[in-house]
Structure 1
Amino acid sequence: MLLSDVALVALGGGVGSLLRWGVGKLVPGSGGIPWSTIIINITGAFAIGYLSVLFSVEWHDRYGSFLKSAILTGVLGGYTTFSTMELDTVKMFRAGNAVKAAFYIIGQLALGVAVAGLGAELARGGA
């Protein structure tokens, strides 16, 4: 592990976290649904699907270069927010909204996988 890689991940993570914070401030929740978390996770899933194919990055090889360290691990890792999605689900469940909580988490997971696949397919020149 090189110090330059650590710096790239840290810088990218800071940028991604600021982007997540900005989207969170701009996009209000409504009806008890945190729309900003959904938008963040779905756009992040699309971006990583697209960029990983565009730049031929395999899942086991996403550390080391500027693109891999700063963008995929740093920016997109700092931008997406799986833990917030899980906490939101717990809060919905505890508030007595078990059905909403189930649709929220299952829907994001299914949509996230779908848009990551769509991003990958678009990067391949399909769709």
Structure 2
Amino acid sequence: MRPIDIIWVCLGGGAGSLLRWGLGGAIDRAIPARFKFGTFLVNVTGAFAIAYLSAALALGWQQRHGDLVSSLVLTGFLGGYTTFSSMQLDTAQMAMEHRHALAALYLVASVGVGLCAAAAGVALARA
């Protein structure tokens, strides 16, 4: 890893995190519900984008390190944009509030729809 890669990841990660924070909050305010749509939609769109770009640029697992697009966009921006930890926190909070069915639905939907979005991204890139 070169020092410039660290800079690209930091810049992209900061920008992606700010977009997630702003967009996720706006979605949650626009759709007041007991289901965290902001985090859900951010993670699903992020899964699609990461998969699409990786497939479109023909980047394998090992190739996603060491160039501008990978460092700035994939690892940095989209890594900062998506949030596994917030999904887990949202799920735990629902469970602690005794909304177990909703917590389970949220967790399964987040993973399942995220995987479908990633598959759609790859399929679109290869079309």
1:67-106 to structure 2, matched below 5 A, reads 67-106=69-108
Paired with 1:14 and 1:103, the residues of 2 have a C-alpha distance of 30
**1:64 to 2:66 alignment:** yes
Paired with 2:67 and 2:113, the residues of 1 have a C-alpha distance of 29
Letter of the 1:90 partner, please give it. Answer: A
**30-39 or 72-81, which moves further after superposition?**
30-39
Letter of the 1:12 partner, please give it. Answer: G
- 1:20 alignment partner in structure 2: 20
Runs of 4+ in 1 over 4 A off after TM superposition: none
Which structure 2 segments of 5+ residues have no match? Answer: none
* TM-score of the aligned structures, taking structure 2 as reference length: 0.95
Paired with 1:100 and 1:122, the residues of 2 have a C-alpha distance of 31
Deviation readout 1:50-76 (Å, 9 max, x if unpaired): 000000111232111001111000001
Which structure 1 segments of 5+ residues have no match? Answer: none
Note the C-alpha offset of 1:24: 2.0
| Secondary structure in structure 1 of the residue aligned to 2:62 | coil
Letter of the 2:96 partner, please give it. Answer: R
Is the helix fraction higher in 1 or 2?
2
RMSD: 0.9
Q: Across the two proteins, how many residue pairs are aligned to each other?
A: 125
Paired with 2:61 and 2:20, the residues of 1 have a C-alpha distance of 23
Calculate percent identity across the aligned residue pairs: 44
Note the C-alpha offset of 1:12: 0.5
